[in-house]
Homo-oligomer: A and B are copies of this chain.
């Protein structure tokens, strides 16, 4: 049996985060010691590692909740898990695309700012005037994930 601190160390998750996961019901309530401290089994460690990996891959806790409920009854089709992973992949690809456009813009800004006065500095200008922008950040207006 592991204390919460050991569990966190082994899974690479901070202690308050573990308690938070329990609070929102993504980890089951832990057993307690005589002194009311949480005790965790190997199974709990695995579940936490699962969560940690999924978070690292950018899955939301909601998606993880779904994945966990799938893995809890493993006798059905894999399709739902596949769907969730695919959606995640699409999201990641979209983010990469947006960030790449963004990078080009920032590079342009930095190059053009040769250290003159701000009045001549395109950094400000580019951000203020859309017509000077290389990218088109008007229509999509996707909620900012950041």
Nearest-neighbour CB distance to chain B for A88, whole angstroms, equals 6
Are A92 and B85 touching (Cβ within 8 A)? no
A interface secondary structure, majority: helix
By Cβ-Cβ distance, the 10 closest A-B pairs, closest first, are: A56-B137, A78-B121, A74-B119, A74-B118, A89-B106, A81-B123, A50-B128, A82-B113, A53-B127, A71-B124
In the complex, chain B residues whose CB is within 8 Å of the CB of A133: 53
Quick check: is A110 within 8 A (CB to CB) of the other chain? yes
Interface residues on A, range: 35 or more
In the complex, chain B residues whose CB is within 8 Å of the CB of A32: none
Are B99 and A96 touching (Cβ within 8 A)? yes
Are A76 and B109 touching (Cβ within 8 A)? no
Are A124 and B74 touching (Cβ within 8 A)? yes
Closest to A125 in B: B71
Quick check: is A146 within 8 A (CB to CB) of the other chain? yes
